[in-house]
Amino acid sequence: MIAANETFNGTFPFAPHFTTKPGFRMHYVDEGPGDPIVCLHGEPTWGYLYRKFIPPLSATHRVIVPDHMGFGKSETPQDREYTYLTHVANLEALLNDELDVQNLTLVLQDWGGLIGGAYALRNPERVKRLFVMNTILPIYAPGTEERMANMFENSRWFNWIGAAMADGSLEHVLGSLRVTMLSMMKLIGFENLAQVDDTWVAAYSAPFATREECKGAIEFPLDVITGRAKLFEVGTPETIAAVKQKPIMLAVGMQDKAGDPRLGIAQFKAQFPDAPVVELEHAGHFVQEDAPETAVALIQQFIHSTS
């Protein structure tokens, strides 16, 4: 776990906030006035991923950026179950019980899409709009199973996960993220190498100083590979209909290696046929790193057009 006041040479200068409502010490950034924008990270990142989003968005909105259990400045309890639905419950404890926020704009990427999408299905009355980047949402649409199977079959990331499980190296490699972080992000689809320096490496590696602190990162991909998480069994017909009526937009880094971005777009269009889609040709899985200024401008325009 990263020290509460660590700023990584001023690149993450945001005041730390903590809640114990989920049953562990969960960190979140909370900056700015106005209606809240909640930005959710995935694997193997943390709130640092949104460091270039927070200043411009917090000029007009309250920006909340949690670190999931086992990531960033949050604790990594060893006696807790780590599934995506556990992370959804943790998010509810933060947003509903600790902060009691309404009129949310959800900004979602990677596992943040599944977590934030499930949160929206459970709490549609709290969510105003969704902005999605390189992820899937837990809302069934005709053809979902075939698209998901093809997406993961052609995924460089999940092919590696499957091979690592088969040869017994998964926990060793993902348990060594303190030294393999950059290669893992490249494997998933990180393109903007020009910004990588010692501070960048230190910031992304810091949550994973020991094998035990890598527990969250090890567990996330097992939800997909082992099938233990039924990703599209969240919500009711009523809550699904409520979420489908909300403004939603997709921005896709087309160099993604976690899954085929074309299939991701097809899945999104099957779920939300009238929603706008923007393809970012030179960005990968981590749009927040590869095209932060473009993504922020798209979010701002999206919020303005749906206010």
Which positions are annotated as active-site residues?
110, 260, 285
Token pair of 15 as six digits: 């005041």
**Which residues, 6+ apart, have CB-to-CB distance to 204 below 8 Å?**
44, 45, 46, 48, 181, 182, 185
Produce one character per residue of 174-194: b if its CB has 16 or more CB atoms within 10 Å, e if not.
Answer: bbebbebbbebbbbbbbbbee
Rounded CA separation 226/60 (Å):
42
- Strand pairing class (36-40; 248-253): unpaired
Beta-bridge mates of residue 108: 40, 132
Q: Where are the beta strands (DSSP E) in the chain?
A: 17-19, 26-31, 36-40, 62-66, 104-109, 127-133, 248-253, 277-280
